[in-house]
């Protein structure tokens, strides 16, 4: 959609931004007389001409998917062309407004479901009879990066299932921990370095005795990772944790060894986690997490964290 050398594309799209002089003029008018028409005029000129162009392009048949593909190309080029960031912001803004909860279609998996879904790997972790498990939430279109429907999807499915099956009142995910291996490798303690070396060696993958010996240490450092690891801006280090904790879930239970695929071994040393969605607690947990970063968590993580703290 976008040429490998995006110079002409860059000039075209960047020149379609908002006009600074028009913004200044509209602001002066609103500042002098802050009424409704003045605010409407200011809003009109602040919005870039790119958004108007994108809306017009989207009127063509099948244009939405083409625009999503165009954004995928834009994201690929963005690291080498940071001046396109404003263009991406316009794409992101419009796609987020177009793709909302009203787009969701809930479809039950049955024998009419495509084979690729029916043959997908299933979780092996046992769950209680009052619990439903979500195995995977995937965005198949790179152009919809950061346009999130997953939070609505989880809550909608949970409400639908609880209505159909009243005995199901706990909903858990079986989620990856894509930043765990990288985070562990940066920990400076001897204990962390020893664990990192043992996990990187991968002898535990084929030797269950080694895995059993390592499991308490993995759980302890996993607890620290999910409960305390943060970026400089204060958000959880783990991107999947940011998503679920921000939705009001709790970090319920870690699972290891879990996913021993090559990708999961590199990213997480085979670690996975259950995030628990309790419909009656979601709002309170979300509020505490957003207000002061409190991570709701299960007993297993609490005990593992206590064990780790006692050892230090």
Are the C-beta atoms of residues 48 and 17 closer than 8 Å to each other?
yes
Are the C-beta atoms of residues 63 and 57 closer than 8 Å to each other?
yes
Choose, from 15, 169, 208, 244, the residue flagged as catalytic: 244
- Cα-flanking dihedrals φ and ψ of residue 306, to 5°? -65, -40
| Inter-residue long-range contacts of 209-215, CB under 8 Å, 24+ positions, other chains counted | 211/257, 215/256
Residue 129 bears catalytic tag:
no
Residue 307 CB neighbours (<10 A): 14
Residue 297 bears catalytic tag:
no
Are the C-beta atoms of residues 251 and 226 closer than 8 Å to each other?
yes
Those residues whose C-beta lies under 8 Å from the C-beta of residue 156, and which sit 6 or more positions away, are: 101, 104, 106
Those residues whose C-beta lies under 8 Å from the C-beta of residue 39, and which sit 6 or more positions away, are: 30
- Which H/E stretch holds residue 24? helix 20-32
Choose, from 175, 250, 269, 297, the residue flagged as catalytic: 175
Catalytic residue ranges: 175, 244
């Amino acid at each position: 959609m976008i040429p490998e050398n995006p110079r002409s594309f860059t000039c075209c799209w960047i020149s379609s931004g908002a006009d600074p002089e028009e913004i200044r003029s509209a602001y002066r008018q609103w500042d002098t007389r802050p009424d409704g028409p003045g605010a409407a005029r200011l809003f009109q000129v602040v919005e870039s001409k790119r958004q108007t162009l994108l809306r017009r392009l989207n009127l063509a048949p099948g244009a939405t998917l083409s625009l999503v593909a165009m954004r995928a190309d834009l994201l690929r080029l963005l690291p080498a062309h940071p001046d396109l960031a404003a263009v991406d912001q316009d794409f992101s803004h419009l796609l987020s407004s177009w793709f909302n909860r009203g787009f969701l279609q809930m479809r039950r998996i049955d024998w009419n479901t495509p084979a690729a879904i029916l043959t997908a790997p299933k979780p092996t972790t046992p769950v209680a009879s009052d619990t439903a498990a979500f195995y995977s939430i995937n965005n198949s279109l790179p152009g919809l990066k950061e346009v999130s429907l997953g939070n609505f999807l989880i809550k909608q499915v949970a409400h639908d299932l609880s209505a159909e099956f009243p005995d199901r009142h706990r909903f858990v995910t079986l989620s990856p921990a894509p930043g765990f291996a990288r985070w562990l490798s940066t920990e400076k303690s001897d204990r962390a370095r020893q664990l990192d070396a043992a996990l990187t060696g991968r002898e535990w993958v084929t030797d269950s005795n080694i895995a059993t010996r390592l499991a308490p240490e993995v759980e302890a450092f996993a607890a620290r990772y999910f409960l305390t690891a943060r970026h400089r801006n204060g958000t959880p280090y783990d991107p999947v944790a940011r998503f679920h904790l921000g939705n009001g879930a709790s970090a319920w239970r870690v699972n290891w060894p879990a996913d021993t695929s090559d990708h999961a071994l590199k990213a997480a040393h085979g670690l996975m986690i259950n995030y628990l969605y309790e419909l009656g607690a979601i709002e309170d947990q979300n509020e505490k997490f957003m207000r002061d970063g409190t991570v709701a968590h299960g007993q297993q993580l609490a005990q593992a964290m206590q064990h780790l703290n006692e050892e230090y």
